[in-house]
Structure 1
Amino acid sequence: MYNIENWKHVFKLDPAKDIDDKVLDQLCESGTDAIIVGGTDDVTLDGVLFLLSKIRRHTVPVIMEISNIESVTPGFDYYFVPMVLNSQSKRWMMDIQHDAVVEYGDIINWDEMLAEGYCIMNEQSKVFQHADCKLPSKKEAIAYARMAEHLFHFPFFYLEYSGTYGDSEMVQSISQELKQTKFIYGGGIETKEQAAEMSEYADIIVVGNVIYDNPKEALKTVKATK
């Protein structure tokens, strides 16, 4: 398997969105550490398989971030399982994950399955509303990070601003709390300068929406993290 310990940058592709083959090839050959396949709306098995088949022409590690059971398929290097810590519903912390284990528990390779403690920070985002989240204060967000590391021993804590650029002071404060759990930041990174800023604090940054809006700028974010 791959050495996730050294990862700094990943691109996130939405299987419900169209992407030019040339752009996809450039992303996969850019030097990014991995490609995540995942989204909130309209994630289907057909869409996931179509995108996976194109990424697999390259050697870059590919991860499925599971959003629904119906779209799960073999063929990925890792499967990231979001557990939404600031959801007001137990469903997004435990129930849908439990459903998946009921369905696939006999065939799961647990070495490929990695939990992400998610904290979603953008009230206007679809994922915030979809997962019935409550916006945490800075103190509460830090507490979620501490829980992710010390209580749940999650491999990842993901601070997700989902489409908007986050508070760098918040990101810096959380980075100081995490020693064993890897800190992932995602949200609103559109320039190499923003990528460099968040990379100072987060172990891994996720670059997503700008891929579809300005792929040239998206590609520049890779070198900014290295």
Structure 2
Amino acid sequence: MYREWQHAFKMDPAKDISDEAIETLCDSGTDAIIIGGSQDITLDGVLDMLSRVRRYSVPCVLEVSTLESITPGFDGYLIPSVLNSTSSEWIVGLHRRALEQYGGLMDWDELLLEGYCILNPDCTAAKLTKADTSLTESEVESIAMMAGQLWKMPVFYLEYSGMFGDVNVLKTVKNALRHSETRLFYGGGIRTPEQAEQVAQYADTVIVGNICHEDPELALQTVQAVKQCKNN
């Protein structure tokens, strides 16, 4: 189903959000709700947000950041591999341990591997995963080609996490993936419909995160902006 996503909201289970805001966002026409975050992610928090989103028909997936937060009940599970991490732990290490623990129980059709490239040096995700955020545009391009052409990953996720990214880099990544089946996800710093539309020109899926918690009504406007851009 991820191949049909044009827009998704990412809700952080460690951050506050009202039931009214969740209803508005889930009924907005977005293609999916992603539950995930980088810090203070607990099973209780994930379960609470899952139960609140599950009242609505929109697909709901978990982006796995800790083994302790994995729980049944989601439509799918996004498995990040941080390709610009300087530690193998965040590329393959955690994944191997997850398979040791859960491999025999997994429904492989529910899992989606994401090749992440995190480029905001100040964000929690970059610090946690020891990401090399000093990459040149050509280096990011080579990582995208590695994900799409060499490793045939289903998703390449360009992540600026709280900072609006360089659209020229996004355009370069889109071009690098043009001969692959890899979908391009973009997330980071989208706070206006204009920014969402700008990103939607290149990203296959636009992911809107922090503003869901800060200003749900403004977040709502990004859905129409992305859909109009994609359908014109």
Cα RMSD, aligned residues only: 0.7
How many angstroms apart in 2 are the aligned matches of 1:152 and 1:46?
Answer: 35
The answer to whether structure 1 residue 199 and structure 2 residue 161 are counterparts is no
Q: In the aligned structure 2, how far is the partner of 1:147 from the partner of 1:77?
A: 28
Moved over 3 A (4+): none
SS class of match (1:114): strand
Aligned partner of 2:157: which letter?
Y
Counterpart for residue 125 of structure 2? 127
Question: Equivalent residue for 1:171?
Answer: 170
Measure how far apart 1:18 and its partner are: 1.2
Matching of residues 28-177 of structure 1 within 5 Å: 28-135=26-133, 136-177=135-176
Matching of residues 199-218 of structure 1 within 5 Å = 199-218=200-219
Mean Cα deviation higher: 4-13 or 80-89: 4-13
CA shift, 1:4, in A, is 2.4
TM-score, with length taken from structure 1: 0.98
Shift of 1:213: 1.6
Q: What is residue 7 of structure 2 aligned with on the other side? A: 9
Contact between 2:154 and 2:182, CA under 8 Å: does it hold in 1?
yes
Q: Residue 194 of structure 1 aligns to which amino acid in structure 2?
A: Q
For this pair of structures, how many residues does the alignment match? 224
In structure 1, the residue corresponding to 2:73 is in which secondary structure? Answer: coil
Give the whole-Å Cα distance in 1 for the aligned partners of 2:16 and 2:160. 23
Give the C-alpha shift of residue 176 in structure 1: 1.1
- The code of the aligned residue for 1:80 comes to L
| CA-to-aligned-CA distance 1:3-27 (integer Å, 9 cap, x gap) | 3222100000000111110000001
Secondary structure at the aligned position of 1:211 is classed as helix
Mark the runs of 5 or more structure 1 residues left unpaired by the alignment: none
Q: Distance in 1 between matches of 2:224 and 2:96?
A: 39
Kindly indicate whether the alpha-carbon contact (under 8 Å) linking 2:11 and 2:213 is maintained by their aligned counterparts in 1. no
